[in-house]
Amino acid sequence: MATLIGGLGTSHIPAIGGAIHKGLQQDPYWKPFFDGFPPIRDWLGQKQPDVVVMFYNDHGLNFFLDKMPTFAIGAAPEYNNADEGWGIPTLPPFKGELDLSWHLIDQLIAKEFDVVTCQEMLVDHACTLPLKLFWPEGDCPVTVVPVCINTVQFPLPSAKRCYALGKAVGEAIQSWDSDKKVAVIASGGLSHQLDGERAGFINKAFDLQFIDSLESNPEWATRFSIHELVEKTGTQGVELLMWLAMRGALGAAGGAQLRRVSGNYHIPISNTATAVLALESV
């Protein structure tokens, strides 16, 4: 069976891609963010996962306000970058992992998650930036299964439902008939609001409590409704749903033993609270 080595979480602000393209990683504005990645890259170099399952949110490439699935899974042989133009200008296609894609789809539907199957899917900065941040040199060494969660158009899935989705994905990964090593990635957040009366809103205290809860009490955030999470984190900060799904995949509290590899929190970048975290299954 496949081995689930651990989970990663990172922010996916488009301007990060621009900083990578311009070589600004050591610029004083960017350095505190990029300094969080070397320990995690070292760990990934030791573990060498073959596949990543990416929990992320689409920004209008595949789905728009008139057609917005709650959950969608990519089942394509490759995924082409079609970013809005603020990030990394060009990237080669990312290879898909078809066998795992269909295994996840079959297993999730069997567990009554009504997922949309996408045999063609474009990806933007929400999917491409984590891969470039964790594997900055050369071509991406892992294959990818994108799992899109709606955080754009209400009604949104509840925190409890996204955590349950993650658990089902983790169980499916561990039942996959393969000798490959798999990591799960959460892309998005943390607290931020880009528009309206609260534009620029950041909630550091909640962010830090949320990050700590992922280790010791992952169900903590599931007690809040979506509207409460928007109030606490901002309209775009609700992207923390991806982090809950990632943690769910690693096992519920009292299940899988986890080790915190490394983490970093920095504010602000583009009016956004940024974070990176790696948790290892042990």
What is the set of active-site residues? 125, 192
Q: Cα(32)–Cα(226) distance, rounded to whole angstroms?
A: 30
What secondary structure letter does DSSP report for 72? E
**What gap in Å lies between CA 61 and CA 108, rounded to an integer?**
24
Q: How far apart are CA 29 and CA 14, in angstroms?
A: 15
In terms of C-beta distances under 8 Å and separation of at least 24 residues, what long-range contacts does 65-68 make, across chains too? Answer: 65/152, 65/153, 68/150, 68/152, 68/153
Q: Closest Cα partner for 188 from 98, 56, 84, 85?
A: 56
53/186 Cα distance (integer angstroms):
9
Report the DSSP beta bridge partners of residue 181: 3
Residue 119 sits at the vertex; the CA angle it makes with 107 and 155, to the nearest 5 degrees, is: 70
Q: Give CA–CA dist 46/44, Å, rounded.
A: 5
DSSP string, 9-33: EE---HHHHHHHHHT-TTSTTTHHH
The answer to whether the beta carbons of residues 165 and 248 sit under 8 Å apart is yes
